[in-house]
Amino acid sequence: MIQVPESAPSAPSDSSAPSTPSAPSVAEAALAADDSLVGDASRWAVGLLTAAGLAPDACTDGRVVSVFPGRYLGGFSATLREWRTKGPFSVRSYRSVAHKSWTDLAGADGACHTLAVTIDSNGLVRGLNFQPEIVVPEVRDWDQLEDVVRIPGVAHSVLAARLEPGRTVVLHETDADRPMPAGSSYKLYVMRALVRAVENGELSWDDEVTVRPDLRSLPTGDMQELPDGTRVTVRETAYKMIAFSDNTGADLIAERLGRAAVERAVADSGHHDPALLRPFLYSRELFEIGWGAPDLRAAWTERDEAGRRELLPGLARPLSVSIGDLGETVHQLGLDWHMSAYDVLEVLRGLADDGERDTTGTVEDILTAYPGLVIDREKWPRVFFKAGSCPGVMMFCWLLENRAGVRHVLVLQQAADDQKLIGDGQFLRWLGGRVVESGLLEATR
């Protein structure tokens, strides 16, 4: 996904409000019992909010990635002091999936906030976000889903379908054939192109890509922090591209395959209008054109496909933009990867077929590594997930296969001219969770 910078805290306070001890709740027990890397990071993060006598200036030593402080425009110490004024806290619920966790905390006034933790592949914290709890109501039917997802100023599309041999059974759709910006979901096409190259013997999972200054992108992910010249296997890079949505990893693979190969994958995967993704942008190119020099963005907007391709060789240099430069929405200018919900469904279908053909299990391991939600594995033993975001853009998609081998797809997309209307994605993520929990995907039609 494309990270949007944190806003500075308002009116930081110097006071701290540690919680008072009490008998462990079920939620506290769940947090204490999580022996994963993200569980360890989550306990540490909750401790930042609840511990007495905290020394904020030193509390992150050895716990966070090097770029962590830069995410908090007012400084993390000031941000943490502001968060702590809402305590003392009690843990109401705890959820974790792969490298992410969400802890709901009740404050002194009863107001609930969610502490979201994201770690890197080494267990270091990449980001902490503390915000009022987002409550998504239960979804019992598709009309209720539409009532929940309809937000003034935000365009949306929804597609829920069952994939049967030779046909797609649509369970519900809203503007599912409308192309919308999809953020990092473009990596699904890079993955398809990679699978094709491996199948054709052009590349192997054990081959390596090399980190270079002209291919270093911005977060999400952590490969941008590797030193120049670092060599990483294609297997590990692809894993990070999908599971961690690593932008640098995606660019390294796309460059190794060649832009034309990824563009062929777009067409072969059934995109309704492949020209919308030509030339196929690497993430770093999107950053540079969208939030770099204004004349570059103007040139992109004014040119046709051939003219846009002429711009790209000039971008083969270190990035001139940082995460803090990302604010204004640019998807309206064609600066994103536009896909309809049906396009998303088709590329997920193709990847599911790819996974079944791959006798090494590598494709399956990569695509099932991060399901995006706490999933009932008794019901859904196979889950693919991808999220995508940019300023003003949010989308989540799942392919869920039940024990009978029947595939189901859920796609949720949002786009707005104002990033504030989109938020950090928790609303759309948990809405997807409500749909999966509801049984609507399993209904016959």
Q: What is the pLDDT of residue 54?
A: 66
Given this structure, which CATH class describes domain 138-445?
alpha beta
Q: What is the pLDDT of residue 17?
A: 35
Instruction: Please report, to the nearest 10 degrees, the dihedral formed by the alpha carbons of residues 328, 329, 332, 334 taken in order.
Output: 90
Q: Which CATH number fits domain 26-132: 3.10.450.280, 3.40.50.720, 3.30.950.10, 2.60.450.10?
A: 3.10.450.280
Q: What is the pLDDT of residue 382?
A: 99
Q: Which residues of 385-403 are buried (b: 16+ CB within 10 A; e: fewer)?
A: bbbbbbbbbbbbbbbbbbe
User: 0.75 exceeded by the pTM?
Assistant: yes
- 54 vs 212 pLDDT, higher one: 212
What's the pLDDT band for 55 if we cut at 50, 70, 90? low
100 pLDDT more than 80? yes
237 pLDDT more than 90? yes
What is the average pLDDT across 256-267? 99
Q: Which of 86, 84, 83, 90 is nearest to 20 (CA)?
A: 90
In the block, tokens 């990824």 appear at 262
Asked if residue 84 lies in contact with residue 17, where contact means CB atoms within 8 angstroms, the answer is yes
Q: What is the pLDDT of residue 13?
A: 33
The terminus-to-terminus CA distance of the chain in angstroms comes to: 34
Please tell me the distance from the alpha carbon of residue 284 to that of residue 93, in angstroms, as a whole number: 37
Domain locations in the chain as residue ranges: 26-132, 138-445
Average confidence score pLDDT of the chain: 92
